[in-house]
């Protein structure tokens, strides 16, 4: 394996690690118990909630109706219900959920969805939940669902860019429940970018050190096999 191949392999692993940190940070922001308790309240009337969601979406963002007009809305409602159940059921299984969302993004790309459309969907869902839950809807619940939709939109946007997750080393539900610490990750800030640059630089320097040590070892082994006459001849030609 050449130096370039080794570097690219290690660089790829570093990028995967940063992806996992990013996803872990999004999940750590969520109170999964509260989210699921809230969702369980809506399950018996989920069909009504989905129906109202589309009403709110089309009313507040009329352009969205044009995007979906060529498609069977009844089928889309059923699909959305199943999608929401799958998402909430797998919030503690980020690898499974991430792959599901990336596959979902590939399917919905036919609708011509752009990044800002995810904001429309999030706002319409939050509005719909508040309408149905009434006094049970709180600022805390609102923020938790903001976190859920932020996770969904970020993963689907990354899926559109061809990003896949290749490791299972992500925090489990048990690990999340055992800690009350919430981690705010520096997503795509200058600090985060600086961290990536530092990691890449460290990999390059490490690989250069390995290559130099390998070269010196080979040269020393070669010298150790030389006769005194050969050493003198080599020295006179340096």
* CB neighbours of residue 56 within 10 Å: 18
165 SS3 class: coil
Query: Using CA atoms, how far apart are residues 105 and 98, in angstroms rounded to an integer?
Result: 11
Q: Is 124 exposed, middle or buried (0-12, 13-18, 19+ CB in 10 A)?
A: buried
Segment 141-188, tens digit of pLDDT: 999 999 999 888 888 876 544 444 443 433 434 444 444 444 344 445
Q: How far is CA 17 from CA 11, 23, 129, 161, in A?
A: 10, 10, 35, 17
Share above pLDDT 90 across residues of the chain, in percent, rounded to a whole number: 27
138: left (phi over 0), alpha (psi -120 to 50) or beta: beta
Give the CA distances from residue 105 to residues 76, 108, 144, 150, 163, in Å, rounded to whole numbers and listed in that order: 14, 5, 22, 15, 12
Residue 158 to residue 191: CA distance in whole angstroms: 20
pLDDT the model gives residue 173: 40
Q: Would the pLDDT of 46 be above 80?
A: yes
Question: Average pLDDT in the 29-55 region?
Answer: 91
pLDDT in tens, 60-73: 999 988 888 778 88
Of 15 and 193, the structure prediction assigns the larger pLDDT to 193
Instruction: Please report which confidence band the pLDDT of residue 28 belongs to, taking 50, 70 and 90 as the band edges.
Output: low
Distance of alpha carbon 134 from alpha carbon 18, whole angstroms: 39
**Among the listed ranges 123-127, 155-159, 190-194, 221-225, which one has the minimum average pLDDT value?**
190-194
């Amino acid at each position: 394996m050449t130096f370039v191949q080794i570097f690219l392999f290690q660089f790829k692993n570093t990028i995967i690690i940063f992806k996992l940190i990013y996803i872990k940070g999004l999940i750590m922001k969520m109170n999964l118990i509260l989210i699921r308790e809230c969702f369980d309240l809506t399950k018996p009337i989920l069909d009504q909630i989905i129906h109202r969601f589309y009403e709110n979406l089309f009313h507040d963002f009329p352009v969205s109706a044009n995007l979906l007009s060529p498609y069977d809305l009844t089928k889309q409602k059923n699909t959305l219900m199943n999608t929401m159940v799958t998402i909430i059921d797998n919030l503690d299984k980020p690898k499974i959920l991430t792959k599901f969302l990336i596959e979902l993004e590939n399917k919905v790309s036919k609708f011509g969805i752009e990044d800002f459309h995810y904001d429309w969907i999030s706002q319409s869902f939050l509005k719909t939940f508040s309408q149905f839950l009434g006094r049970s809807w709180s600022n805390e619940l609102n923020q938790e669902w903001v976190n859920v939709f932020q996770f969904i939109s970020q993963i689907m946007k990354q899926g559109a860019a061809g990003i896949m997750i290749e490791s299972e080393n992500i925090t489990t539900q048990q690990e999340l429940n055992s800690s009350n610490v919430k981690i705010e990750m520096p997503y795509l800030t200058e600090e985060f970018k600086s961290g990536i640059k530092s990691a890449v630089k460290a990999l390059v320097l490490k690989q250069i050190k390995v290559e130099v040590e390998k070269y010196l070892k080979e040269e020393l082994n070669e010298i150790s096999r030389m006769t005194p006459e050969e050493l003198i001849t080599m020295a006179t030609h340096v």
